[in-house]
């Protein structure tokens, strides 16, 4: 929840400075000062990637992580051109 509040503060700083005619971009000094005063986040946090499907090459064992299913009869391993098999 703190992350969401920090992001909202960050965006409101952009809005406030833009409306009042000050520098509202990330590199502007006015933006950095106001962001520090209100306690907003300077950068958005990275989100964890969630992979639903894991494919493995049957020849070399290279793993491919995908969010969507792929057609294994159409796609092959990029290293050895072996067949891919869905393991998860």
Contacts of 72 by beta carbon, 8 Å cutoff, 6+ apart: 55, 83, 84, 85, 86
**Nearest 10 degrees: Cα torsion 28, 33, 38, 39:** 90
User: What confidence score (pLDDT) does residue 76 get?
Assistant: 96
Domain holding 62, by residue range, is 53-86
87 pLDDT above the threshold of 90: yes
Number of domains composing the chain: 2
In a domain, 10, yes or no: yes
Is residue 88 among the annotated active site residues? no
In a domain, 78, yes or no: yes
57 in the same domain as 34? no
| pTM score above 0.75 | no
7 in the same domain as 32? yes
pLDDT tens-place string over residues 23-76: 989 999 999 999 999 999 988 788 777 789 999 999 999 999 999 999 999 999
In a domain, 60, yes or no: yes
**Marked catalytic residue, from 8, 11, 42, 65:** 11
33 in the same domain as 57? no
In a domain, 28, yes or no: yes
In a domain, 14, yes or no: yes
């Amino acid at each position: 929840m703190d992350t969401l509040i920090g992001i909202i503060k960050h965006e409101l700083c952009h809005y406030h400075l833009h409306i009042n005619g000050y520098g509202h971009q990330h590199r502007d000094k006015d933006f950095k000062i106001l962001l520090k005063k209100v306690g907003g986040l300077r950068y958005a946090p990275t989100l964890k990637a969630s992979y639903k499907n894991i494919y493995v090459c049957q020849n070399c064992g290279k793993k491919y992580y995908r969010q969507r299913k792929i057609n294994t009869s159409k796609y092959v391993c990029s290293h050895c051109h072996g067949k891919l098999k869905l393991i998860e």
